[in-house]
Amino acid sequence: MNLLLLPKETSAESPSREAARHAAPGYAATKRLLDIVGASALLTLSFPLMLLIALAVGATSRGPVLFRQARLGRHGRKFRMYKFRTMVPDAEQLLRSRADLKQRFEAGFKIENDPRITPLGAFLRKTSLDELPQLLNVLLGSMSLIGPRPIVPTELKKYGTSGEKLLTVKPGLGGLWQVSGRSDTTYDERVLLDMKYIDHASLSLDLSLLLRTAFSVLTCRGSF
């Protein structure tokens, strides 16, 4: 598990000190500006590709092109997250009807070799192209380019006492977990990585993670 060259913690921080860090002059505004400029540029550059993906999803599997799901944002506010649909239309019903799949899903909220994923969906997930529509979430302000991955409400219990801390920042399209193995890590390691990011969040770390996330996506590292 790669934690990058983050500074060592010398003592536990109180919520007020964490709030002070994230309220540091200039950081929040600069991070938002980076999100707007970055998401706008990436949406413009990737629009032809997104159009092709949308046509391919519609042509190879019945159902909507986009998958929409409620996720938790900053302060626990729910927002609708967008992805290209990678599963069969009745994926949720199939999960509820199969105890083996439900058990595997609840263990890590992700299933390796998930039988509900379409052939095209497997490719989109492997290359992370299914997440391109989340640039809209970034532009709208419900997500950031960098931050902890957005979770579904029922997933919050996996964070235990760290759940409140997780919701102090916006979820991100990329981040420390994505460059540290993604699906190759355990869920407990993911929680640790999210907390590490929150503890050490800064513009320099965000820029570093942007570059490292791009490399992880290009190499398909730890994705399925």
Q: How many domains is the chain built from? A: 1
| Per-residue tokens: 207 | 């820029």
In 3-state terms, what secondary structure has residue 69? strand
What's the chain's length in residues?
A: 224
Alpha helix (H) residue ranges in the chain: 15-22, 27-60, 91-97, 99-108, 119-127, 134-140, 163-166, 187-200, 203-218
Distance CA 165, CA 74 (A): 10
Answer whether residue 18 is part of any domain: no
Sequence-distant contacts of 106-114: CB under 8 A, at least 24 apart: 107/187, 108/186, 108/187, 109/151, 109/152, 109/155, 109/158, 109/187, 110/183, 110/224, 112/183, 112/224, 113/224, 114/87
Answer whether residue 135 is part of any domain: yes
Give 155's DSSP letter: G
Going by C-beta distance under 8 Å and a sequence separation of 6 or more, which residues neighbour residue 114? 87, 101
Q: Domain limits at 153?
A: 28-218
Residue 54 has pLDDT above 70, yes or no: yes
pLDDT band at 24 (very low <50, low <70, confident <90, very high): low
pLDDT band at 131 (very low <50, low <70, confident <90, very high): very high
User: Could you read off the pLDDT of 172-181 as tens digits, one per residue?
Assistant: 999 888 788 6
Answer whether residue 195 is part of any domain: yes
Answer whether residue 149 is part of any domain: yes
Query: Which position has the token pair 């709030």?
Result: 19
The answer to which of 118-122, 127-131, 171-175, 216-220 has the lowest mean pLDDT is: 216-220
Answer whether residue 2 is part of any domain: no
The structure's pTM equals 0.82
Answer whether residue 22 is part of any domain: no
